[in-house]
Structure 1
Amino acid sequence: MAYFRVNYAAVAALTLAVALAALLALLAAWCLLYALRPADALPLAACGRTFSDHEVLGGLVAASAFVVLLTSVGSLIFSALAFGAAVVCAHGACRVPEDMFLDEPDQTNGGSGNPLLSFAAAVTGGGRF
């Protein structure tokens, strides 16, 4: 688990980003189809049918109700984090990283005490600033 912690964090962040992308798509639909649309704009047309402003508003309200009430935003975020944790746990259970470790203990952390700051050791010429 310790060897792949950065990868696991990336997977969890990616699943959370996908869940948040759904919410951003809903926000973009509201902005483009309702809030930022000029009053004198032509009616929305799709698949050979013209939709009135009331129909567009009704569709946006229905989509919002589906996303917020049926999936609930908190549940959506929790589900994304749970899925990310499941992927991380499955990978950690199946992966054996015995041959991936370096023999030199000084090189495992880049010479510094913190693996996230290993780039600083290479720049400064050692493990100290």
Structure 2
Amino acid sequence: MASTAPPILPLTTPQSTPATIPTTAQSSDPPIATPAFRAFITRIHDQIKDGLAQRRPWAELVDRSAFSKPESIADATTRIRKNYSYFRVNYLAFLAIVLLFSLFSHPFSLLTLASLFAAWSFFYLFKPADRPVVLFGRTFSDRETLGVLIIMSIFVVFLTNVGSVLMSALVVGAAIVGAHGAFRAPEDLFLDDQDSAGQSTGLLSFLGVATSNAAAAAAATSARV
């Protein structure tokens, strides 16, 4: 008697669907736009370079044969005015050197001032308008950021030794410049309108550019706030 084996049913393996690995879109924040900062630094560099190119020879500034005692206060005032018109760029460069020397001789003040400038740069001046400041899980608006930066600036300038270092350096530099202008006889200096205009469009023109940039930044800020 033949044994009948049960029929073998075909085994159908379900087609394995390819595993779909969930791809998480890595939303990386766009890098902070720095063209404005680079343009600002480039403009400062160009203005300072153009201004220093129009400075007077330093040997002419310290010519010992040109020094004499002023006859009166009015004569000293006239000398200061004429010498300032002629050595304007040299005087500003000297004040900058005195200021830098004073800051480098006080490392804490230099570090504090650099930190304050960095805070203004990264959190307000060159921050993209569509990226709010988020600190400690809290989002700060532009108005709040400006208020915090102003309070920090007041604290740094008036409640630390940074303000005293800056003021003392400016006072010492201005006193030396005033003494030089009063005792330097300007009779040998060639002053004309064209030369004076050339000096004013040199290093000092940076102040006008910086003022216009600050006004434009303030207008953009007020519109943004």
TM-score, with normalisation over the residues of structure 2?
A: 0.26
TM-score, with normalisation over the residues of structure 1?
A: 0.44
Larger radius of gyration: 2
- The higher-RCO structure (CA 8 Å, 6+ apart) is 2
